[in-house]
């Protein structure tokens, strides 16, 4: 169980950013191009993730293989970080999945989520919001931006995604029974040094030093998320998410295509789960912000999660998690019926746009779309 800590003294890490690219907002045209792309979340990704996948089980291996295969199809660099650790259930083998667009890049924009699900004696816990949906969103993020990132390889910062294994406690949340994958990887990377190259930027750097920010997604996909800011060092990024959401709303891009509704209904039907019609409609409605705008300057709490081992070692963190947690948190009802497709669609677009802006690929998106239009007209 995650623990919500309230304190006047928290991990507030001041650091000199190693960001080498200037954050630049997308043009309205690029904004529309990215939000008009067809999202395969409900057809290509979620169905294979929505199964019990406790660490050390056959289903966990099946999901790991599925994630790795999808990134192999994109020709990303795929690393499987396998290790064993003692748990209340004995020695268990865990495997983190680390996928990187450009393995030669000096720095990394890192997104992360955990792909394991919590152990229950009675079994059957799917963990749709915890965290099948975040994993599916990150897979879609990569697939949506891949062709633009191909043309942006000259940049010194690349996109990297980590799928952690063993986030969940087997019995009760503690410093030793939780965060197995993230604790292992943070310690490993702290002691793994980058091979010296002609670039002086790499000399003396370990694998943690190259992380410009770790953006962790968790418990996403349910209706009406309320996401707060937790860290001073990344508050400007949190504010960027708020601004992106506002621009999408202003441009009437907060919506859900009817095709995605059908896909979700089919997904729920295949799993013999009752379909809830609330929020599942093809219309533009009044949109309440998903982000707590009043938390920008408040840093009085944080939530224990996979970012903590990295935060303690000085890595800048942006934690995207709703508080309070979804109503179905750690219940067997956290399955496909808990998913609000409107929220998934909108948050997915927000993260895609943030990534495109952070990696400064606006002109690449425009040029690529222009070239495709020319080809279709010839």
SS3 assignment for 275-308:
CCCCCCCCCCCCCCCCECHHHCCCCCEEECCCCH
Predicted pLDDT of residue 366: 85
Q: Are 133 and 156 contacting, i.e. CB atoms less than 8 angstroms apart?
A: no
Cα 20 versus chain centre, distance = 22
Distance from C-alpha of 4 to C-alpha of 6, rounded to nearest angstrom:
7
Active site residue 167: yes
Q: Are 156 and 207 contacting, i.e. CB atoms less than 8 angstroms apart?
A: no
Classify the C-alpha dihedral 294-299-302-307 as positive or negative.
Answer: positive
Which residue is catalytic, options 218, 306, 357, 362? 218
Predicted pLDDT of residue 2: 58
CATH code for the domain of 129 = 3.40.630.10
Residues in the chain: 378
Cα 227 versus chain centre, distance = 14
CA dihedral 220, 71, 19, 358 (to 10 degrees): -60
Six-digit token string for 191:
């002691």
Predicted pLDDT of residue 1: 43
Distance from C-alpha of 236 to C-alpha of 205, rounded to nearest angstrom:
25
Cα 3 versus chain centre, distance = 20
Give CA angle at 246 (32, 101), nearest 5°.
55
Distance from C-alpha of 111 to C-alpha of 78, rounded to nearest angstrom:
15
Distance from C-alpha of 209 to C-alpha of 212, rounded to nearest angstrom:
8
Q: Which of 33, 45, 74 is nearest to 260 (CA)?
A: 45
Task: Mention every residue, 6+ apart, whose C-beta is less than 8 A from residue 149.
Answer: 101, 102, 158, 159, 359, 361
Predicted pLDDT of residue 224: 92
Predicted pLDDT of residue 194: 83
Q: Are 103 and 210 contacting, i.e. CB atoms less than 8 angstroms apart?
A: no
- Mean pLDDT per 10-residue segment, the chain (378 residues): 43 42 87 82 94 98 99 98 98 99 95 99 96 98 95 82 99 97 98 68 81 99 94 95 95 69 60 44 61 75 93 97 97 95 92 97 86 51
Residue 82: domain span: 4-376
Which residue is catalytic, options 102, 165, 167, 168? 167
Task: Mention every residue, 6+ apart, whose C-beta is less than 8 A from residue 104.
Answer: none
* DSSP structural state of residue 338: G
Report strand pairing: 77-87 vs 107-114.
unpaired
Predicted pLDDT of residue 297: 62
Number of domains in the chain: 1
Distance from C-alpha of 351 to C-alpha of 86, rounded to nearest angstrom:
35
Q: What's the predicted TM-score (pTM) here?
A: 0.89
Q: Are 190 and 288 contacting, i.e. CB atoms less than 8 angstroms apart?
A: no
Residue 23: half-sphere exposure toward Cβ, Cα within 13 Å: 14
Q: Which of 97, 118, 130 is nearest to 177 (CA)?
A: 118
Active site residue 218: yes
Cα 188 versus chain centre, distance = 21
């Amino acid at each position: 169980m995650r623990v919500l800590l309230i304190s006047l003294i928290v991990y507030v890490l001041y650091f000199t950013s190693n960001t080498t690219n200037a954050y630049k907002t997308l043009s309205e045209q690029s904004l529309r191009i990215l939000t008009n792309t067809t999202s395969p979340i409900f057809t290509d990704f979620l169905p294979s993730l929505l199964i019990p996948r406790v660490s050390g089980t056959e289903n966990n291996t099946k999901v790991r293989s599925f994630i790795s295969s999808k990134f192999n199809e994109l020709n990303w660099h795929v690393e499987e970080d396998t290790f064993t650790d003692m748990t209340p259930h004995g020695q268990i083998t865990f495997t983190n999945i680390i996928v990187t667009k450009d393995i030669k890049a000096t720095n990394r924009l890192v997104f992360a989520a955990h792909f394991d699900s919590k152990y229950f004696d009675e079994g059957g816990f799917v963990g749709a919001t915890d965290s099948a949906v975040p994993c599916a969103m990150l897979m879609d993020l990569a697939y949506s931006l891949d062709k633009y990132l191909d043309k942006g390889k000259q940049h010194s910062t690349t996109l990297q995604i980590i799928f952690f294994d063993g986030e969940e406690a087997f019995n009760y949340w503690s410093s030793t029974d939780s965060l197995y994958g993230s604790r292992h990887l943070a310690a490993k990377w702290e002691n793994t040094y980058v091979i010296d190259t002609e670039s002086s930027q790499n000399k003396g750097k370990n694998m943690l030093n190259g992380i410009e920010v770790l953006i962790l997604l968790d418990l996403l996909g349910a209706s009406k998320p309320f996401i707060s800011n937790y860290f001073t060092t990344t508050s400007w990024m949190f504010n960027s998410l708020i601004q992106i959401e506002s621009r999408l709303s202003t441009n009437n891009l907060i919506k859900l295509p009817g095709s995605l509704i059908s896909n979700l209904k089919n997904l729920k039907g295949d799993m013999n789960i009752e379909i809830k019609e609330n929020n599942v409609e093809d219309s533009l409605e009044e949109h309440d912000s998903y982000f707590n705008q009043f938390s920008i300057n408040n840093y009085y709490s944080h939530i224990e999660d996979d970012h903590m081992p990295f935060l303690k070692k000085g890595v800048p963190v942006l934690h995207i998690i709703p508080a309070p947690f979804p109503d179905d948190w750690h219940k067997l009802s956290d399955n496909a019926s808990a998913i609000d497709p409107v929220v998934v669609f909108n948050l997915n677009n927000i993260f895609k746009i943030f990534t495109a802006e952070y990696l400064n690929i606006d002109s690449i998106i425009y040029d690529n779309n222009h070239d495709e239009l020319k080809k279709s007209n010839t």
